[in-house]
Amino acid sequence: MRGLENRVAVVTGAAGGIGKEICRRFLQEGIRIIALDVNAEALKELTADLDATADTLLGTPVDITDYAGVKDAVDRAVAKFGKIDILVNNAGWDIAAPFLKTEPDLWDKIIAINLKGPLNLHKAVLPHLIAAGGGKVVNVASDAGRVGSSGESVYSACKGGLIAFSKTIARECARDNVRVNVVCPGPTDTALLRSFVGEGEYGQKIYEGLKRAIPLKRLGQPDDIPGLVAFLSSDDANFITGQVISVSGGLTMSG
């Protein structure tokens, strides 16, 4: 894709299933990466698995709910690479349960990770994109934020909020040549989904039910997401901003 070579990207949730595949694709495109994740050991494994070097991937443990920590990580990244061109907010977390069986402490954690975290990253990174003359933001939300999802009420609210926030920032920052778009995965075979459906025979039944509901008759895989993220980060997407695109095998369709 055009215009990705030698770009610098911040990727959150970089050591998770989808995050790892985004980092893999970015390295293939010649992008240098600031890989942020709360799991320091997983970041070390990520660097080894992707055969990355200190010049191509800077693994930085950070809690994205802590603005001071996020800003410090971003500032250190700019000091190392000299700029930031791309921000990918990919980190997410949830525990599946009907809303009336959840408590405010759980709501607070879900909101902090899935909504406040991306707000912190925008606040820390956008000034660098603007100073560089423009850039790309790709926010990984969820179809749960577009159409709802039983057992994911607060998570869905956060992802819906992230979609609305992204459209607003796309409007506010268009004059600064910053494009902001949203990728919404449908059911994707990650650790988060496995924790949602459970293990054993019951979990397998849910998996099979999901497959039957998806027109393409399979669950998404982590490597189904990076192609769209790379496209939206490239010069080929220079006239695209404020858009929300599902990657769901056709489970959700809009237009």
pLDDT score for 208: 77
The reported pTM is 0.93
pLDDT tens for residues 46-66?
999 999 998 999 999 999 999
Kindly state the helix (H) or strand (E) to which residue 206 belongs, with its residue range.
Answer: helix 200-213
**Directed axis angle between helix 104-111 and helix 153-173, to 10°?**
30
* Lookup result for tokens 């956008």: 126
Handedness of CA 35, 41, 42, 44 (dihedral sign): positive
Distance of CA 64 to the CA centre of its chain: 12
Average pLDDT estimate for 11-32 = 97
For residue 220, what is the DSSP state?
A: B
Distance of CA 163 to the CA centre of its chain: 12
% the chain with pLDDT above 90: 82
Tell me the pLDDT band of 224, cut-offs 50, 70 and 90: very high
pLDDT at residue 193 is higher than 80: no
Burial 171-197 (b: 16+ CB within 10 A, else e): eebeeeebbbbbbbbbbbbbebbeebb
Tell me the pLDDT band of 203, cut-offs 50, 70 and 90: low
End-to-end CA distance of the chain: 25
Active site members: 155
Tell me the pLDDT band of 197, cut-offs 50, 70 and 90: low
> Domain locations in the chain?
8-185+223-239, 188-219
Tell me the pLDDT band of 198, cut-offs 50, 70 and 90: low
pLDDT at residue 202 is higher than 60: no
Looking at domain 8-185+223-239, its CATH architecture is 3-Layer(aba) Sandwich (3.40)
Name the residue among 49, 64, 56, 3 with its Cα closest to residue 230: 3
Distance of CA 251 to the CA centre of its chain: 20
pLDDT score for 190: 78
pLDDT score for 86: 98
CA distances from 134 to 20, 49, 173, 178, 235 (A): 25, 31, 9, 5, 11
Tell me the pLDDT band of 141, cut-offs 50, 70 and 90: very high
Kindly state the helix (H) or strand (E) to which residue 192 belongs, with its residue range.
Answer: helix 191-197
Average pLDDT estimate for 142-168 = 95
Tell me how far apart the alpha carbons of residues 162 and 168 are, in angstroms, rounded to a whole number: 10
pLDDT at residue 99 is higher than 70: yes
